């Protein structure tokens, strides 16, 4: 992670937060005292909840004159998997574009209880009391994202009741209301954790969807560019669920894709979609990319070996990521990768090939575990909400202005 000198910037933020009356206590008198936040995230792969207990220090405001001076120390990370019913229900709901109301309500409740379980594991492992947690920042389970419409399932009142903590949730809608895409939101944390005074960096997260954040050397938040490049693991995971419904739902280490051959006519059809040529800001969702793949496959009208489809899915992700890095900013000094895609050796190999000698590192090498990064990001966003600090970056989301994100549910 960056050192204190790189985190410096901004005052104590008192003038900035006078207009806001948070529902929970604001930052302490000494704005650099650390507070404990729990960030919790469930991705589009629907594999479960990642939760991170972090100590957040500092206070800041997202603007070019006073960049945020938050610091973030990871204390513990846990992953709580969804049970089979919940995982299958989420995947089916997302793929079909809907569900009956009873299933929708049950998914919301079960996902919320899984979030609560993750919080309980963190608190118990650290021997903490709920009163020591400033807030839980919970993203919820995305089931639909097509800006300006977005939907994340979570019952914050249930989560607050189960954990006896305040909950910050529903992070994306405020940005959408301000004319933005509601995504990506992780650039707030990317800027805080990874900016460098002399190096230009691209932060790449490979989840269901792949997204990138460009941090120019010594730049402020107004210089950050971020967007979704296209599919990360979503197409590959979808194919695995079709091939082996009772299996893990992913290609472990990319072993199946490793033995396949790319289907270039299928690649060409996919890459002709306008999304990949559009300039940022832009965002997409897993079902849209899966449907694009299925439509291209139907157009070709041929059957292919399964391993070839898997290889093509990996190459599609790697190609669209690399193309985005080449097209939209000067070639960066280094690429820092996080997310589940880092565990797919075939995907990582295909990604590195077109980037030449550009250093490719994982976020783990800079002190931010790949599996915990998004949860840490939402902990920082939760701290910003509690402090009444805008958490979106308009150059990343396309919003008309920076806005405070999320809704606060006080602890019972």
**CA-CA distance, 167 to 163, in Å (whole number)?**
9
**CA-CA distance, 111 to 169, in Å (whole number)?**
13
Q: Put the strands of the sheet holding 225-231 in their side by side order.
A: 225-231, 209-215, 201-206, 334-338, 360-362
- 48 known member of a binding site: yes
In the DSSP assignment, the letter for residue 132 is G
Pairing label, strands 167-169, 133-146? parallel
- 49 known member of a binding site: yes
Q: From start to end of 104-224, where are the E strands? A: 133-146, 149-153, 167-169, 201-206, 209-215
**How many C-beta atoms lie closer than 10 Å to residue 14's C-beta?**
11
- 90 known member of a binding site: no
**CA-CA distance, 396 to 224, in Å (whole number)?**
7
- Using DSSP's 3-state secondary structure scheme, residue 63 falls into coil
- 207 known member of a binding site: no
- 45 known member of a binding site: yes
The dihedral through the CA atoms of 378, 384, 386, 392 has a sign that is negative
**CA-CA distance, 7 to 263, in Å (whole number)?**
46
Q: Does 148 sit behind a cis peptide bond, omega within 30 degrees of 0 on the bond before it?
A: yes
**CA-CA distance, 353 to 349, in Å (whole number)?**
6
- Using DSSP's 3-state secondary structure scheme, residue 271 falls into helix
Taking alpha carbons only, the member of 9, 77, 57, 33 closest to residue 376 is 77
**CA-CA distance, 276 to 209, in Å (whole number)?**
13
- 42 known member of a binding site: no
- 107 known member of a binding site: no
- 43 known member of a binding site: yes
- The kind and range of the H/E element at 120 are helix 101-126
**CA-CA distance, 337 to 150, in Å (whole number)?**
26
Per the annotation, binding residues for ATP are 43-50
Binding site residues, as ranges? 43-50
């Amino acid at each position: 992670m960056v050192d204190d000198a790189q985190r410096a910037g901004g005052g104590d933020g008192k003038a900035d937060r006078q207009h806001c009356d948070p529902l929970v206590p604001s930052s302490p008198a000494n704005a650099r005292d650390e507070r404990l936040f729990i960030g919790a995230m469930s991705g589009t792969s629907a594999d479960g909840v990642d939760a991170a207990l972090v100590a957040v220090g500092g206070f800041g405001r997202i603007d070019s004159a006073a960049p945020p001076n938050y610091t973030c120390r990871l204390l513990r990370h846990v992953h709580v998997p969804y049970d089979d019913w919940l995982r299958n229900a989420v995947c089916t709901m997302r793929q079909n574009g809907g569900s009956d109301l009873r299933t929708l309500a049950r998914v919301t409740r079960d996902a919320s209880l899984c979030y609560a379980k993750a919080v309980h594991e963190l608190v118990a492992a650290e021997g903490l009391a709920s009163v020591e947690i400033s807030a839980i920042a919970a993203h919820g389970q995305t089931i639909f994202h097509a800006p300006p419409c977005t939907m994340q399932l979570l019952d914050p009142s249930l989560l607050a009741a189960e954990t006896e903590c305040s909950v910050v949730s529903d992070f994306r809608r405020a940005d959408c209301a301000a004319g933005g895409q509601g995504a990506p939101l992780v650039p707030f944390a990317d800027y805080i954790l990874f900016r460098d005074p002399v190096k230009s960096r691209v932060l790449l997260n490979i989840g269901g969807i792949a997204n990138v954040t460009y941090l120019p050397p010594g730049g402020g938040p107004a210089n950050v560019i971020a967007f979704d490049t296209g599919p990360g693991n979503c197409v590959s995971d979808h194919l695995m669920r079709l091939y082996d419904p009772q299996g893990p739902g992913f290609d472990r280490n990319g072993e199946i894709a490793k033995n396949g051959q790319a289907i270039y006519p299928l690649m060409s059809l996919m890459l002709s979609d306008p999304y990949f040529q559009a300039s940022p800001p832009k965002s997409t969702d897993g079902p849209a990319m899966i449907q694009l793949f299925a439509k291209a496959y139907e157009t070709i009208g041929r059957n292919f070996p399964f391993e070839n489809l898997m290889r093509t899915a990996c190459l599609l992700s790697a190609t669209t990521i690399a193309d985005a890095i080449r097209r939209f900013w000067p070639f960066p000094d280094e690429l820092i990768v996080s997310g589940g895609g880092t565990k797919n050796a075939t995907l990582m190999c295909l990604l590195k090939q077109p980037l030449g000698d550009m250093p490719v590192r994982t976020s783990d090498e800079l002190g931010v575990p790949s599996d915990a990064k998004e949860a840490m990001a939402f902990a920082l966003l939760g701290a910003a909400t509690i402090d009444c600090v805008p958490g979106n970056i308009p150059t990343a989301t396309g919003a008309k202005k920076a806005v405070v994100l999320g809704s606060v549910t006080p602890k019972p």
